Amino acid sequence: MRLLMSEDDQRTGPVGPDRLRELYAWPAEPWVRSNMVATVDGSASGHDGVSGSINTTADNAVFDVLRSLADVVVVGAGTVRAEGYGRLERDDSGHAPTIAVVSGSGSLPRSIGSPEEDRGEAVLVTCASAPAGRLRHARGRLGADHVVVAGDDVVDLPLAFTALAERFGPALLLEGGPTLLTDALAAGLVDEMALSWTPRLVGRAHSILAAEIEEIALAPRHLLEEDGTLLGLWTVRR
């Protein structure tokens, strides 16, 4: 992997594992970073409808680094089901981010299983209108303090993100899907965006966003490349 540009460092050239962690280091304060992948023609998924089929070695390397630095991985319940997400594995240092599943219906995907020693914690983020039976089920599987109820009829993302940062740590990594990313951007919650372009064309119209939003300006942090995959990081301009 090589660094093509950086806003605050002229040391372009080869990038090893330690340098990669430096480039993606989290700020000390509460910070929401999104991470998405897309093909050159802008599709967030392959022909099978999931992002796993358009990933590359370079994209997976950054994906792993981002997770290793995050306190919480926030993801929509639909994406959890489609991508087969489960509780996150601990790395060699014993760290595993908490996975926070956002579900307005209160339905907890089956892949989020019971607690395991070699995996991190799991949290359900939902709203007060979710059926009481589903909330009881989630509390039984996760623990009462691992169900975050934010909002009445829909999930209040600002309230939810604040609760996650306070309970589980300030480094939040938003992995989608497109609907959750769109809602978070529209609510002004995303501080930084990581985006990988993989060298593929699939001819699909599945954007990383689910709907139009008010235009948002971004400031480039850095750009990396490996075997045709481009990996960028941008700060959201307020």
Sheet holding 31-39, edge to edge: 13-14, 2-6, 218-226, 229-236, 192-198, 31-39, 171-174, 72-76, 98-102, 122-126, 147-149
Check if the beta carbon of residue 8 is closer than 8 Å to that of residue 17: no
pLDDT in the model for residue 46: 87
Model confidence, pTM:
0.95
pLDDT in the model for residue 179: 95
Residues 6+ apart with CB under 8 A from 174: 32, 33, 34, 35, 74, 75, 180, 181, 184, 190
- pLDDT profile of the chain (238 residues), mean per 10: 88 92 93 96 87 92 96 96 93 93 96 88 97 95 94 98 97 95 97 97 86 94 97 94
pLDDT in the model for residue 51: 87
pLDDT in the model for residue 206: 82
pLDDT in the model for residue 23: 95
Q: What are phi and psi of 220, to 5 degrees?
A: -70, 135
pLDDT in the model for residue 122: 97
pLDDT in the model for residue 137: 94
pLDDT in the model for residue 47: 83
